[in-house]
């Protein structure tokens, strides 16, 4: 039996998503065949809007509805403390416990030589320039390296730390500490674990 082209195209589109294998792609596609057209239209509109109605914040590079994002635009946030994370999802995770009052810098990745991802492929240079320029007239006094505790995350944190020293940028550099097991991703950690990791950060 030959699968209709429209179905095959959607299956292949799902397969391109991270964590979606051929079987899951097929199940999702055939599930959508039974969804009312009104709901499918809403689903399609939501997909179209994800690019059209979002922007990258020109300051921290998180995904937001406006530029600057709500965190960078908030006068109550401590602009002198920047928490460096790998992905926008990490910002959402750290914001859940409401204990951190600084701002963020999203790298949109991590240094991963095996996948040909170097420092120039992520927002490291923009971080260095941001520190040099300072934020809203406030000199940056601390950089919190909150990349994931994986081999690539540690390599990225080490690279950033070295670059700050090379640039002779005299500020406190810390690394998130206890609470996060080696190999874990920030976006999947619970609020208490993240709070302990932030409180237990050490000089780096």
Same domain, 78 and 149: yes
Domain residue limits at 26: 5-52
- Across residues 174-199, what is the average pLDDT? 66
Q: Residue 183 pLDDT > 60, yes or no?
A: no
Q: Residue 178 pLDDT > 90, yes or no?
A: no
- Across residues 176-188, what is the average pLDDT? 62
Percent of the chain with pLDDT over 90: 69
- Greater pLDDT, 95 or 166: 95
DSSP the chain: -PPPHHHHHHHHHHHTSTT--HHHHHHHHHHHTTS-HHHHHHHHHHHHHHHHT-EE-TTT--EESSSS-TTTT-TTSEEEEEEEESSHHHHHHHHTT----EEEEE-SS--BGGGTB-GGGTTHHHHHHHHHH-BTTBPP-EEEE---SSHHHHHHHHHHHHHHHHTT--SEEEE--TTSPTT--GGGS-HHHHHHHHHT-EE-
Same domain, 21 and 115: no
What is the model's pTM? 0.78
Same domain, 21 and 70: no
Same domain, 122 and 140: yes
- Total domains in the fold of the chain: 2
Residue-wise pLDDT tens digits, 40-84: 999 999 999 998 999 999 999 999 999 999 999 999 999 999 999
Q: Considering the chain, what is the average pLDDT of its residues? A: 88
CATH code assigned at 134: 3.40.1360.10
Same domain, 86 and 147: yes
Same domain, 44 and 107: no
Same domain, 179 and 98: yes
């Amino acid at each position: 039996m030959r699968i209709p082209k429209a179905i095959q195209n959607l299956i292949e589109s799902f397969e391109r998503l991270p964590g979606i294998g051929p079987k899951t792609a097929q199940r999702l596609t055939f599930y959508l065949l039974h969804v009312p057209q009104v709901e499918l239209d809403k689903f399609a509109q939501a997909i179209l809007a994800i690019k059209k109605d979002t922007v990258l914040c020109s300051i921290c590079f998180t995904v937001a509805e406006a530029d600057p994002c709500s965190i960078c635009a908030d006068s109550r946030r401590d602009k002198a403390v920047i928490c460096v994370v790998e992905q926008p999802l990490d910002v959402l995770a750290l914001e859940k416990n409401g204990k951190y009052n600084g701002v963020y810098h999203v790298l949109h990745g991590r240094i991963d030589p095996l996948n040909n991802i170097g420092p120039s492929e992520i927002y490291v240079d923009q971080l260095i320039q941001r520190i040099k320029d300072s934020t809203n007239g406030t000199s940056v006094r601390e950089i919190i390296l909150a990349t994931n505790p994986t081999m690539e995350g540690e390599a990225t944190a080490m690279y950033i730390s070295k670059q700050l020293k090379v640039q002779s940028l005299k500020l406190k550099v810390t690394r998130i500490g206890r609470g996060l097991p080696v190999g874990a991703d920030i976006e999947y950690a619970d609020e208490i674990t993240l709070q302990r990791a932030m409180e237990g950060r050490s000089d780096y």
